[in-house]
Amino acid sequence: GDSVTQMEGPVTLSEEAFLTINCTYTATGYPSLFWYVQYPGEGLQLLLKATKADDKGSNKGFEATYRKETTSFHLEKGSVQVSDSAVYFCALSENYGGSQGNLIFGKGTKLSVKP
Amino acid sequence: DAGVIQSPRHEVTEMGQEVTLRCKPISGHNSLFWYRQTMMRGLELLIYFNNNVPIDDSGMPEDRFSAKMPNASFSTLKIQPSEPRDSAVYFCAILSPYTDTQYFGPGTRLTVL
């Protein structure tokens, strides 16, 4: 079945450091790919998404490119801030008749940014 | 903006008691999802509805779990009887047909003693 694998955490960085969180996927069809972020005590918020190969999702300085050839969707940010400290989830959803199905999540990567 | 209200936010109960979690979408959607989050298993889909009809309940752990969606504005997840291993955060999410994106509620943290 479909699955998502993302790098184990926790990841600890200093403010203004470069961030990469790796994510690879296995899917039978042509899924949409997502990054969600979960701040302490809160629900998941969509950070960015890409719906087809070579699409780049971006939001709040974060970027990820849908790479079909490597089945990857790595999350990057050039300069992290303390406020970026959270748990980041990579996810995929198969598309059924043009509509999104349920999300399949990776285990999550906890990011801590120190001042 | 899409949004979801969940209640209660926190629930502490004793083993054997019935627990009912509630989800109220506050904007347009065509699908509603229930997920469970634990340290050991991460985020897992329990069940999802499309146009109020259950489509996939293969993630429901066992017969102790049941979910209903009597109308487009309300869904419940019931555990009867509850067990300590049911302790988790339960999330409700809706799929917006306008953005084709799932929006999550704040979750219900359930502790079964």
Mean pLDDT, residues B51-58 taken together: 88
* Interface residue B95 vs chain A (CB under 8 A): yes
Contacts of A44 in chain B (CB under 8 A): 43, 91, 93, 104
Q: How is residue B78 annotated by DSSP? A: E
Predicted confidence at residue A96, as pLDDT, reads 61
Contacts of B104 in chain A (CB under 8 A): 36, 43-45
CA A26 to CA A85: how far, in whole Å? 28
Six token digits for residue B94: 């809706």
Q: What are B81-101's pLDDT values in tens digits?
A: 999 999 999 999 998 888 888
Tell me what the pLDDT averaged over chain B comes to.
91
* Size of the A and B interface in Cβ pairs below 8 Å: 49
Tell me which residues of chain B, numbers 30 to 89, contact chain A at a CB-CB cutoff of 8 Å: 30-31, 33, 35, 42-43, 45, 48, 56
SS3 label, residue A83: helix
**Ordered mean pLDDT values, 10 residues apiece, chain A (115 residues):** 90 97 92 93 91 94 96 97 96 71 90 96
Peptide bond into A10 cis (omega under 30): yes
Residue A53: what residue type? A
Whether B21 has a pLDDT exceeding 80, the answer reads yes
Contacts of A108 in chain B (CB under 8 A): 42-43
Q: Which of A44, A100, A102 sits opposite B104 (nearest CB)?
A: A44
Residue B38 pLDDT class (50, 70, 90 cuts): very high
Distance from CA of B104 to the nearest CA of A (A): 6
Predicted confidence at residue A2, as pLDDT, reads 87
Percent of chain B residues topping a pLDDT of 90: 66
Six token digits for residue B54: 């259950």
Predicted confidence at residue A97, as pLDDT, reads 52
Q: Are A73 and A66 a contacting pair, CB within 8 Å? A: yes
